[in-house]
Amino acid sequence: MRFALALLAAALVAEPGAAQVRSSRVDLPRVAPSRDATLASLLEQRHSVREFSDRSLELAEVAQVLWAAMGLNRPDGRRTVPSAGALFPLDVYVVAGDVRGLAPGVYRYVPHEHALEPTAAGDRRTPLVRAALRQEWAARAPAIVVVTAEYERTTVKYGDRGVRYAHMEVGGVAQNVYLQCAALNLGTTFVGAFDDEKVGAVLELPAAHRPLALLPVGTPGTR
């Protein structure tokens, strides 16, 4: 109850373009198509960033990154990342700490609604980083995107090979995040070193959701 009230208060005081709370979900700003950058230029800019400035993320930036990761790009429900059998075994969460218009907490991205479903309250960045072999730099990012897999969605059709397909898919999600960050003058990097059980506990993930990648997102900075 307290978390729901906090979300509502954040939406009421937020500036235009901030989240609007509908029931227990947070509507995200519409995706803004961009044709200013070529793929080649984004690939030239793409690199791993481990130093972040103190600038907060805008909700519209978070919305754009999440859409790039796994949003819908066709009326039939297909997404920005390919998936074996269109079974989509991955889920994308955002661990928000310093996002304007969004209360600190853990949220699951809902592609078909382009919305966030709150799953845990409070800023979880520091305990998450401690579960990632104490890579303290990552906690300075305003938000951390977390990609998880529910293997049964693909193994039910492809058997054990479905696990491999899920691992292939996370690479596509991560690259989409990198390229979208480059387009927005943001930075990120792929973090794969962490304790699965501790990450699941910190984020209160469903038991079937296995974490595969952490992607801290923020404005590049120097320290």
Backbone angles phi, psi at 122, to 5 degrees: 90, 160
Q: What average pLDDT does range 78-96 have in this prediction?
A: 95
Does residue 32 register a pLDDT over 70? Answer: yes
Q: What average pLDDT does range 139-160 have in this prediction?
A: 97
- CA angle 204–123–106, rounded 5-degree value: 40
Does residue 117 register a pLDDT over 50? Answer: yes
Output the average pLDDT for the chain: 86
Does residue 105 register a pLDDT over 80? Answer: yes
Prediction pTM value:
0.85
Percent of the chain predicted with pLDDT > 70 = 85
Least confident of 14-23, 139-148, 182-191: 14-23
Higher pLDDT, 77 or 208: 208
Q: With H, G, I as helix, E, B as strand and everything else as coil, classify residue 91.
A: strand
CATH code at 2-218:
3.40.109.10
Residue pair 25/116 in contact (Cβ under 8 Å)? The answer is: yes
Q: What average pLDDT does range 113-132 have in this prediction?
A: 96
Confidence at residue 158, expressed as pLDDT on a 0 to 100 scale: 97
Q: What CA–CA distance (Å, rounded) separates 111 from 115?
A: 7
Does residue 214 register a pLDDT over 90? Answer: yes
